[in-house]
Amino acid sequence: MTGTDHAVLVLRLAAPLQSWGGLSRYNRRETRPQPTKSGILGLLSAAEGRAREAPLTDLVDLQLGVRVDQPGTLLRDYHTYSDYRGLPLLSAKTNAKGQQTRTTPPKYTGVTQRFYLQDAVFVAALRGPKALMQGLEEAVRNPVFPLCLGRRSCPPTGPVSLGLRTDTQLKDVLEEVPWQAGSHRRRQARSATVTLEATIEDPAGDQLAVDVPDTFDLKTGTRFGRRAVRHLWVTLPTGHTQPAHPAADTGPAGACDHDPFALLGW
């Protein structure tokens, strides 16, 4: 059901690097192939200037849809770390006073791995009460805290907000917003249309996403709830005209227009 008391906020999530980690922690921080609800609500909270311990009850009920306009590629960032004083690293164990103990046998170098999406572009649509969405759209255009795409080291490229839309189904919004891929990807397109992957939050959906945060409070940590989602594909125009038929070969016998690089989109 739709009505005049609701609206849809559309966001463009694009950056050289994004990382939507979800449940991954400690020394291996993975990324999911699409933005998580937790990550997007974190971006909105930063835009509004919410304190980490502030309640999220008004945000977690927003209905989310995500479209993959440019999937990007996976990057693994490999790090080593050590104590600058030359001391052994701390272990996970604690003493009677609750203080972390040093590793035994002593370990002086640790390894951490972080994963990112390179050159990805997503369109996110959030549906909720009109007054709330108007406030969020204004906050995204004039954020209190810097915006980031999953991690603080991943600032967005260009404006994030694509504006508010009158209340409608998320599927319709994702089918109407023009293709947001980068210029290089758009030049690679050969046909008049492109088919993009999308997911929509739907109580009747047959898949579960575990990415609904209860809080961003660092003292208590975040526990993630589940939401039902539905997977679909949407087809959009690329802006290119598709030739009806290849031109006939008018060269000498045996000649051909063989271009192996065309297969790579170059």
Residue 157 lies in a domain: yes
Q: What are phi and psi of 238, to 5 degrees?
A: -90, -15
Encoding tokens for residue 100? 């972390």
Other CB atoms within 10 Å distance of the CB of residue 250: 6
In a domain, 143, yes or no: yes
| 138 inside domain | yes
Q: How many domains does the chain have?
A: 1
- Please report the pLDDT score of residue 258 as a whole number: 57
Percent composition of the chain: helix, strand, coil (DSSP 3-state, to 5): 15, 35, 45
pLDDT tens-place string over residues 99-120: 888 988 888 898 888 999 999 9
Q: At what angle do helices 37-48 and 130-141 cross, to 10 degrees?
A: 70
Decide: 27 and 110 in contact? Cβ < 8 Å. Answer: yes
Q: Is residue 83 part of a domain?
A: no
pTM of the model: 0.82
What's residue 83's pLDDT? 87
Q: Does residue 214 lie within any of the structural domains?
A: yes
The CATH code of the domain that includes 21 is 3.30.70.2660
pLDDT at residue 249, as a whole number: 47
The confidence score (pLDDT) of residue 123 equals: 98
For residue 141, give the 3-state DSSP assignment: helix
Q: What is the pLDDT of residue 228?
A: 96
List pLDDT tens digits, range 129-173: 999 999 999 999 999 999 999 999 999 998 999 999 999 999 999
| Domain annotation covers residue 41 | yes
Domain that holds residue 155: 6-76+117-242+260-264
Rounded CA gap, 133 and 126, in Å? 8
Q: What is the rounded distance in angstroms from the CA atom of residue 245 to the CA atom of residue 222?
A: 56
Which segments in the chain show pLDDT lower than 70? 1-3, 22-25, 242-266
Angstrom distances, CA of residue 159 to CA of 146, 167, 171, 208: 12, 22, 23, 30
What residues contact 197, with CB distance under 8 A and at least 6 apart? 67, 68, 71, 231, 233
